[in-house]
Amino acid sequence: MSILDYFRSNKKPNTAVTAKERLQIIVAHQRGERDAPDYFPKMKQEIIEVIRKYVQISEDQVSVQLDQNDDKLSVLELNVTLPDGK
């Protein structure tokens, strides 16, 4: 590496690191969806409906994710971002 390169690479932000982090999230999400059982999309929709009976939320405030940790254990993770002051 030349001295010039050294200064150049110091200034540049490492965008590859950002790319990798973004991809890890996307891929985990895509894989979570395709490994989910067939009933999953419908169940997710119904969970959202139930919450909506009580709190006004939009669909992207709810994340429902199924994680297969190993053969014996799956974890259903439900995250709801509630609007302020409710």
- Shortest CB 54 distance to another protein, Å: 35
**CA atoms of 36 and 70, how far apart (whole Å):** 14
Could you say whether residue 27 binds another protein (CB under 8 A)?
A: yes
Could you say whether residue 26 binds another protein (CB under 8 A)?
A: yes
In single-letter form, the type of residue at position 19 comes to A
Could you say whether residue 31 binds another protein (CB under 8 A)?
A: yes
**CA atoms of 41 and 32, how far apart (whole Å):** 12
Q: Kindly indicate which of the ranges 10-18, 55-63, 65-73, 77-85 contains the residues binding another protein, using the contact rule CB under 8 A.
A: 10-18
Could you say whether residue 14 binds another protein (CB under 8 A)?
A: yes
Q: Which residues bind another protein (CB under 8 A)?
A: 1-5, 8-9, 12-17, 19-20, 22-24, 26-27, 30-31, 34
